[in-house]
Structure 1
Amino acid sequence: MSETKVALVTGANKGIGYEIAAGLGALGFRVGVGARDAARLADALAKLEAAGVDAFGVPLDVTSDESVTAAAASLARLDVLVNNAGVTGGMPQQPTLVDLDAIQRAVDTNVLGVVRVTNALLPLLLRSPSPRIVNMSSSVGSLTRQSAGDVGPLSAAYAPSKTFLNAVTLQYAKELRDTKVLINLGCPGYCATDLNGFRGVRTAAQGAAIAIRLATLPDDGPTGAFFDDEGVVPW
């Protein structure tokens, strides 16, 4: 690379987000570590720098207009955006028992947060010769897999928020089809993170692999698609 490419990963202070930042850093990216918790952000930066990653902190709460605006203003260049920050919304998630606030929390972070961050950073991305956006979704957001009963427990907040994210991402791909931006969805699989009480069967590093692959697609790569490690995920 003639110039060091810059990536920003939201929710990167731990779990899958941290491993995405570490993986992109290992490939030579300068990586912005987006996080809303200052202490955890500092810890993540120390670990990444000790591993030889060129990392810098980006205080970022994706649910806050002011925080996102400040984060965008702090960047001079951006080539890759990975929208990784996510929440379940809280329990219970059965449709007949779910608290409406849980649905609101899930949508605020998992959908509106992605739109807020993407729109704020798109002007920078459009200046990049090879801009990439990766939105971290989940197989539970696939209506095809949900209808077949293949994935996950009852989920009236988290799963629908990922279905919503998938639909929004497709709209971005349609709008940006005449630009150089490639925007895709990545499913990390069922990883052991604090999002699920570390019950997952995959490591966070394994979950990060799909995001790293989509963040480094060639210029003739796909856009507006949904992938996991095995290939295309049905909508």
Structure 2
Amino acid sequence: MNLPKHIAIIMDGNGRWAQLKRRPRTFGHIKGTRVAKKIITACSRRGIKNLTLYAFSTENWFRPQAEVSLLMQILRRYLKRETENLVKENIRFSVIGDMSRIPADVAKAIENSIEATAQCTGLHLVFALSYGSRQEITNTVREIARRVEAGELSADDVDESLINSTLSTYPTPDPDLIIRTSGEQRLSNFLLWQAAYSEFYFTDVLWPNFTESHLDEALAAFSMRQRRFGKVSSNDNMEKFSN
């Protein structure tokens, strides 16, 4: 099977899953964290090189304060509990996003996990936390403008390669496959620049119900895609266009 080198997942549907069970939204987030752990391990054992999870967006800060606080607590507990397992599975952990808004105790847990897994050589696991792609691109443009103003660059030096190297995701390759659960079919401010040639896989399955079998279905669908990147496939018969 032709596996993607980088999978990015928009883990959507925790709240709706909880509401369907007549439970508080927080119950869905806790269940979603358990599912994330299984999918991280599954990707690692299937030989995926990079996995980015959209864990908390910049827009999520506008949710009720009690829900935001719980999400931060869940994240802190997850990192404290699972860092040892990440090392055991040879998974390197990193984060993209605006860390200035993350509570100090959570930021410390993030820092500890990054340091503990720094030497791991297997799956590269990225949490997008307090992340928004428009904000990332804005920051990138601002940084490049600063360097031009300082005389470090000229306007002619600005190209795709420079922009790529200034994004927070660098040097992680662009996602080959983006999965979104819960039936929604949009990016929601996630990896807008990086998704230029990504394959998309949308499923109606709510994230707390997402299993390894669903992951394998997404991988199988990806393996059937022809990725041309704007070019013509060598299998295409161009003779029919010559007349």
Give the TM-score normalised by the residue count of structure 2: 0.38
Work out which of the two has the higher radius of gyration on C-alpha atoms and give 1 or 2: 2
Flag the structure with higher helix content.
2
TM-score, length of structure 1 as denominator length: 0.39
